[in-house]
Structure 1
Amino acid sequence: MEQQGLSGIIKHADSRWIIVCDFDGTISCADVTDTLMEEFGHPDWKLLESRWEKGKIGSRDCLSGQISLLDATRQQLDACLDQIKIDQAFCDFARWAKAQSIPLYIVSDGLDYAIERILRNNNIAGLPVIANHLEQVGERRWHISFPHFNPDCRFASGTCKCRVAEKLNPHAFLVIGDGRSDFCVASRADHVLAKKGLLAQCRRAGIAHTPFESFAEARSCLEKQIAKAVRVSSQETL
């Protein structure tokens, strides 16, 4: 799928609320990049992962180095991606958001090609994917680029979720996520649905959040938050 620039997506973000949703470990049941590297990466990819976990490098540098160590044909890559499962309740959640005219954006510090293929495998179409761009540059070689990189990003991420969210809708956005790439954008959100590492971070930082395990819970959580915000807005206009 052709990489869509952020400017081509922004014009659709005219709702009172938008949802900014992580992919790896949030929609997918596994971290996609880690899965690919475990299968096809040179062992040195784990050294980069360790440096990132210790805060010595940002995710942009980590991913750039790791993808350079990826050794797989497109057929092998696709076969691996086709085995990755997602939270099946996400399909119903995406349909609900569409029915409610709430724009839902997948904003990920992962790989656009992988996300788009996994979504197609699960018959999910039409969701904008904002992520790092993966392309094949040889029979077994791959390259990653960062169209949504922000040189001022606190976490030196490949995709700066804060900048993306603020360009999409600076006034009202909800975040759904699970890990480190969501820490910064969660601190700026109106509300967060959090699990795993993001849940612990929200508790530490006092960020308004709702714990969740599955997208089966996400719809009711967000309905309550949106209804609450509407009530507050109505009272302010009286």
Structure 2
Amino acid sequence: MNEKKRPMIFCDFDGTITVNDNIVAIMKRFAPPEWEAIKDDVLAQRLSIQKGVGQFFRLLPSSLKEEMTEFILDDAKIRDGFGTFVEYTKKHDIDLIVVSGGMDFFVNPLLKSYQLPIYCNQAKFNEEKIRVEWPHACDCHCTNECGCCKPSILRKIGEGRFTIVIGDSITDLQAAKQADFVIARDFLLEKCQDLELPHASFQTFHEVIQILKDKEVTA
């Protein structure tokens, strides 16, 4: 890596820090069948992520807040090695930022013990149906309606840094395109290969630590 630049890691949450996608898990458990068509439209890029996720949660009554939170806290599984990875970044003074298209009501409690900066969406329960707010929406350089716009966050706080994106899905792709290096799995890995982005693959965070060591990523 370029030793003149301090590293900053932008790490996805759903399907990356956690083994499964928590929004999908919520929809499968609580949503009416209409959510499937919305999901298909998002994956086919006929519907933006922001509009799709917003429509997902408008299917759900706000009265489900406590039940959904308990469900996710019980259902979510943190990927092997994540705690060790967090300790490694802190020991080596590497800035680790969580950027998530998920909702604050489950992202924050699941990550509370790790004490990390978190950028995510906000779910509001003061109406009959759940409403999503987007505190990290797209900047003037992005028109993709990302919801939590990862490339915009990267531009805002990653300028002048050696930026690394860790992720797995379509929500990570635009940030991966502008990062210096990508650590990827699943859909994102395929896209990195197709687009010939500088990358490495991973399944556990123990492997991520080894990748950082191999690339001599240090502050």
AA aligned to 2:83 is C
Shift of 1:133: 1.0
CA shift digits 1:176-200 (9 cap, x unpaired)? 0001011111111111101000000
CA shift digits 1:138-177 (9 cap, x unpaired)? 5x73221111111652532101111101111222211100
Q: How does 1:176-187 map to 2 (within 5 A)?
A: 176-187=166-177
Shift of 1:226: 3.5
Q: How does 1:4-153 map to 2 (within 5 A)?
A: 16-71=6-61, 72-82=63-73, 83-120=75-112, 124-138=113-127, 141-150=129-138, 152-153=141-142
Shift of 1:44: 1.0
CA shift digits 1:28-60 (9 cap, x unpaired)? 111011111111112211111111111111000
1:162 alignment counterpart: 151
| Alpha-carbon RMSD | 1.8
SS of alignment partner, residue 73 of structure 1:
helix
For structure 1, the residue ranges without an aligned partner over 5 or more in a row are 1-14, 231-238
Task: Give the TM-score of the pair, scaled to structure 2.
Answer: 0.90
SS of alignment partner, residue 110 of structure 1:
strand
Name the CA distance, whole Å, in 1 between partners of 2:65 and 2:153: 29
Name the CA distance, whole Å, in 2 between partners of 1:117 and 1:63: 20
Asked if 1:219 is matched to 2:189, the reply is: no
For structure 2, the residue ranges without an aligned partner over 5 or more in a row are none
SS of alignment partner, residue 158 of structure 1:
coil
Whether the aligned pair in 1 keeps the contact of 2:83 and 2:114 (CA below 8 Å) is no
Number of residue pairs aligned between Structure 1 and Structure 2: 211
Whether the aligned pair in 2 keeps the contact of 1:17 and 1:174 (CA below 8 Å) is yes
CA shift digits 1:84-105 (9 cap, x unpaired)? 1111310110111011111111
Stretches (4+) displaced over 4 A: none
Task: Give the TM-score of the pair, scaled to structure 1.
Answer: 0.83
AA aligned to 1:137 is N
Q: Which has the higher contact order (CA 8 A, sep 6+)?
A: 2
Whether the aligned pair in 2 keeps the contact of 1:131 and 1:159 (CA below 8 Å) is yes
